[in-house]
Structure 1
Amino acid sequence: MKKIIYAIGVTALAMTTMLTSCTKDFEKLNTDPNASQNTLPAQLLAPALVNSVSANLTRNRNFNNELMQVTVDMSDAEGKVFRYDYRSTWSDYTYTQWYLQINDFKAMYKTATDPLTANKSYQGISLICQSWLYSLLTDTYGDIPYFHAMEGKDSTNFRPAFDRQKDIYLDLFKQLDSANTLLKANEAIATGSDPVYNGDVSKWRKFGNSLYLRLLLRISGKSEVSDQVIAKIKDIVDVNAANYPIMTSNADAAILRWTGVGPLTSPLLNIREQDFRTPAICSFFIDHLAAWNDPRIDIPTYGSGGYNRWGIIPYRGMFKGVESGYTQGQGVVKLTYFNSWTATSTGPSLMNEPLTGMILNYSEVCFILAEAAVKGWLKTPASTYYRSGVYNGINQWVPKFTEDSVNNYLAASDMSWIEGESLDKKMERIHIQKYYGMFLTDFQQWFEYRRTGHPVLPKGQGLKNGGVMPARMTYPVFVQSTNTANYRDAVAKQGPDQISTQVWWQKP
């Protein structure tokens, strides 16, 4: 037995020596000195964008639209979002998806700084996309891991601390300023790597600065930062506009247009057709459009081939919706709904509509500027921005709708700007139109309602949570169990991990 053990030991020693000899300088000998060992930034951009927008569109449909009275997933069961009643499991999907894509955008930035693959444009685009997703995370959950998030690979920090929302926002502004500077160089990027702007770096710069305005406005109501925020809005729009180009037309809109080919296929096509048709359209959403004879559903005047652009199926020739938050047991009947798509259908459907990949459009920018102007921060009258927002919001979907048509539309719908109205009425006028302009844009309708209280939504008798719009999603259960100490610290600072706890920018 001793001889056997000795023999095994000698053999093992010999093999170890041989392996050491064979692998000596292995990495050096097998490394191409002329090639980067990282994935190219052009390979990372498109997948991260597609995955981000897919996650946003999925939750826009079944979460945002239910809260914001676009649709009603009719049921008397518990846990229905339209009744402000949803389980903590709703939290996991967006939290996980957004952090996964941030990780890819971070990897893209790192690769874009590699001397062999350096590109300032990819660096700037990465910072914009990280800021976009981090803003969605903090606006949805409140305090989140930010400064030390995603460090597990390099530092083994698997349990990052949660950072305060105020600190996150102030750093996002720094990132967007850096992105604006980087994109000034206008270094070329691969057209095929960019499903949003097809390689047009100047439009990425406009998007980044427009996103900057969105985020500045979101925290402008906080007295502790309002002076510097308002000053920055003025700087971007009026004082230093040449250095901060922003969107100026629908052609600048940040939209990932689905082509239906390969990865550029809308996630809505993964939904069964009968399931897509299940939610009723809410009366709040459809009643205004019908009363205004809005071109986005006006069949005889603006429709293509006899169908409205949003694929809305009327009820007995009329657009009638279901009231949100109705009491359980009422026996409500579904009326109007969004059409589903089949290979044989001839009408439009959001399931295969290229424009559903909304990130930030020009109409939203116009309404951001309208609000800033109505509060006295900008030189241009609020009415000018308001009119432009209405026009571009409709024209985005109905190209036949011209600027010559907008005055008639506003007058007929009783939505013309009235200078003598109170600030609150002007805010309602701006935000009811902004609500439709942000249709399909992730959670933006929900965020803006939480910030402003506009547009005013009717309250059904069956609402939970005391009839108060949920202020956030709770943290995912896995975060509570895997990062317990930091989770408890975040809750102690921010407030109970409940849907009624307001995030920093929402608190008085």
Structure 2
Amino acid sequence: MKKILYILIVMFSISSCDEGFEDVNVDPTKASQIAISNKLTTAQLQVSSERYDNWRANLIYCSTMMQHFATTAGYWSGDKYTWNRGYASSLMDRYYENPVKTLEDMLVQAEAESQPEEVVAIIKVLRVFTFHRLTDLYGNIPYFEAGKAVIEGNLTPVYDSQSEIYADMLSELESAAAVLGSGTSSFGDADIMYQGDLAKWKRFANSMMLRLGFRLIKVNPTAAQEWVTKAINGGVMESNADIAYIQHTAGPEGINRNGNGEVFTADGNPRMSETFINFLEDDPRLPILAARRSDGSTEISDLKGLPNGLDSSLLLDLTGEENTDAYAEPNRAIITGEGAPMFFQTYAEVAFLLAEAAERWGLAGGDPEPHYNAGVRAAMKMLAIYSADAVIEDAAIDDYLALKPFDPANALEQINTQYWAATFLNEYESFANWRRTGFPVLTPVSYPGNVTGGTIPRRLTYSESEQANNPTNYQAAVDAQGPDQLTTRVWWDVQ
């Protein structure tokens, strides 16, 4: 495992030789092709990604728009609904140059090497995860022609409609899940998420189908129910042992660091939002997730959340305080390390989606309450993956559920507000599910100079380089979807 994590991200294209010179150009001490298992390790780390896009897209934008974090720093654009094009496009910039290219290359290699069908299925599931994160954040994106610059020489890929992308992603998950079964794939320990466990990959594929099926709820509720039903029947995550995550490791080499953790190392500005701290009242997660900036205290009475949408002057006018040291920040002793796990999808999320399926359509046994309770319990228990200091005892969870029991009259709001809490630090998913459901109910800010009219953004914006390097297809995407602005809604986010 350790050797795998030290593999550097490499260029995968191999230059061709003139006929007759093959023997001269081949180095017998080096492989002519990188092993596909090593590329999977690289792809998984690229999807988890680095400081650059986790800082800009995940935290600066999504986490503050979703009011998990707040800050007075002006460059945290999402907190104030201002526009920094480079920050907004950062996930697009990194994903297309890294995991998209790697995964497309892996599919070509898998075909050339006649790899087993389960190997191809695993690649496709990770590919769907990559593209669903992209399309949920930006809308219409290059999909069918993406990542093929080296393979096919296509430097100006077409932007496909999100409706077509979703249809293909769901189909890919269905076909992948059909060939994934039991046993261990040839990836073995090179698969740093599931160590080649095919049953867990199958449950992840179906759990992703569950997530994406629910994305259709506003635009096509009939299709949403059909795909959710397929996912449940196929078998979704069953416990925290099925969580899809990367366990990062801190170290001077910097190869396997958690991108969020790198942000917290570099940037001391983010504070816990007042919205989130207020939600966590009487919640045993509070002293695990938050600590007071000034002295690291996790005493409940010391944990105060910062209102969103303030700069230093507005904070002084509102509170009389000159800095934010008295406010809670993410707990640096537990959750902000460079060796922290990075979660892609959790069992807690799946349990809440099952609760919603039961509430909406009578699926998953027809009773949402057991799934809701399982989701709350799993969301609290999974924090132990961070540290032994983050273990929450069953009795504390029982007390919480007794204090705040499932409320059938308020089911969808309660389920999806807990989903929001469970996706803390996976802010892409928090943002997507909030747009899908409208929960939790968040009060927008109205910072001077915001570009949204004081409404929470609905997407992030494309790379500026696309206007210069792929202008025809960029413009076609804008014409089809709407202005390249923070307020334009993606296809599944209809009003």
What TM-score results when the alignment is normalised by the length of structure 1? Answer: 0.82
Question: Offset at 1:80?
Answer: 2.7
Partner of 2:179: 182
Residues 1:88 and 2:85 aligned together = yes
Alignment partner of 2:267 out of 276, 279, 282: 276
1:288-327 counterparts in 2 under 5 A?
A: 288-289=279-280, 291-292=281-282, 294-298=283-287, 308=288, 313-314=296-297, 317-326=301-310
Partner of 1:9: none
Q: Which amino acid aligns with 1:428?
A: E
Residues 1:54 and 2:41 aligned together = no
1:143-222 counterparts in 2 under 5 A?
A: 143-184=140-181, 186=183, 188-222=185-219
SS of 2:193's equivalent in the other structure is coil
Alignment partner of 1:370 out of 346, 355, 359: 355
| Residues 303 and 328 in structure 2, CA contact (< 8 A), matched pair in contact too | no
Distance 2:239 2:291 in 1: 25
Distance 2:304 2:76 in 1: 25
Alignment partner of 2:372 out of 360, 377, 386: 386
Distance 2:141 2:18 in 1: 44
- Residues 362-388 of structure 1, C-alpha deviations (whole Å, 9 max, x = no match): 001111111121112403311111111
Partner of 1:470: 457
Question: Offset at 1:165?
Answer: 0.4
Distance 1:282 1:220 in 2: 29
Question: Offset at 1:297?
Answer: 2.7
Question: Offset at 1:62?
Answer: 2.4
Higher mean Cα deviation, 330-339 or 449-458?
A: 330-339
Question: Offset at 1:207?
Answer: 1.0
SS of 2:344's equivalent in the other structure is strand
Distance 2:443 2:335 in 1: 28
Q: Which amino acid aligns with 1:113?
A: E
Alignment partner of 1:329 out of 313, 326, 334: 313
Distance 1:459 1:156 in 2: 45
- Residues 259-318 of structure 1, C-alpha deviations (whole Å, 9 max, x = no match): 325532223454474x433222111111221x22x22234xxxxxxxxx36556448852
Distance 2:414 2:264 in 1: 37
| Identity level (%) | 26
Partner of 1:286: 277
Structure 2: gaps spanning 5 or more residues: 1-16, 317-322, 385-389
SS of 1:350's equivalent in the other structure is coil
Alignment partner of 1:494 out of 467, 481, 486: 481
Distance 2:19 2:197 in 1: 47
| Residues 123 and 182 in structure 1, CA contact (< 8 A), matched pair in contact too | no
SS of 1:81's equivalent in the other structure is helix
Distance 2:42 2:290 in 1: 27
Higher mean Cα deviation, 203-212 or 83-92?
A: 83-92
SS of 2:355's equivalent in the other structure is helix
Distance 1:269 1:411 in 2: 34
Q: Which structure has the greater CA radius of gyration?
A: 1
- Residues 95-125 of structure 1, C-alpha deviations (whole Å, 9 max, x = no match): 021112111012122222233x613332111
- Residues 213-254 of structure 1, C-alpha deviations (whole Å, 9 max, x = no match): 11110112213xx323312212332xxx3xx22110001001
Higher mean Cα deviation, 402-411 or 381-390?
A: 402-411
SS of 1:459's equivalent in the other structure is coil
Distance 1:122 1:251 in 2: 21
- Residues 395-429 of structure 1, C-alpha deviations (whole Å, 9 max, x = no match): 111474355543421232xx21122x1xxx32211
Alignment partner of 1:440 out of 402, 421, 425: 425
1:461–1:202 distance in 2 versus 1, CA, 3 Å = same
Partner of 2:471: 484
Question: Offset at 1:484?
Answer: 0.8
1:407-426 counterparts in 2 under 5 A?
A: 407-412=398-403, 415-419=404-408, 421=409, 425-426=410-411
Q: Which amino acid aligns with 1:296?
A: R
| Residues 370 and 382 in structure 1, CA contact (< 8 A), matched pair in contact too | yes
| Residues 314 and 320 in structure 1, CA contact (< 8 A), matched pair in contact too | no
1:13-162 counterparts in 2 under 5 A?
A: 24-27=19-22, 37-55=32-50, 57-58=54-55, 59-75=57-73, 77=74, 80-99=77-96, 100-115=98-113, 118-162=115-159
Higher mean Cα deviation, 210-219 or 198-207?
A: 198-207
SS of 2:179's equivalent in the other structure is helix
Distance 2:349 2:286 in 1: 20
Higher mean Cα deviation, 460-469 or 61-70?
A: 460-469
SS of 1:359's equivalent in the other structure is strand
| Residues 311 and 348 in structure 1, CA contact (< 8 A), matched pair in contact too | no
Distance 1:381 1:284 in 2: 30
> 4+ runs of 1 displaced by more than 6 Å?
28-33
- Residues 417-457 of structure 1, C-alpha deviations (whole Å, 9 max, x = no match): 122x1xxx322111221111111114111111111111011
1:498–1:23 distance in 2 versus 1, CA, 3 Å = closer
| Residues 60 and 77 in structure 2, CA contact (< 8 A), matched pair in contact too | no
Partner of 2:14: none
| Residues 40 and 112 in structure 1, CA contact (< 8 A), matched pair in contact too | no
Q: Which amino acid aligns with 1:411?
A: A
- The alignment of Structure 1 onto Structure 2 pairs a total of residues equal to 453
Structure 1: gaps spanning 5 or more residues: 1-21, 299-307, 342-346
Residues 1:250 and 2:240 aligned together = yes
1:36–1:245 distance in 2 versus 1, CA, 3 Å = farther
| Residues 71 and 270 in structure 2, CA contact (< 8 A), matched pair in contact too | yes
Partner of 1:10: none
1:88–1:227 distance in 2 versus 1, CA, 3 Å = same
Partner of 2:12: none
Distance 2:108 2:181 in 1: 19
Q: Which amino acid aligns with 1:506?
A: D
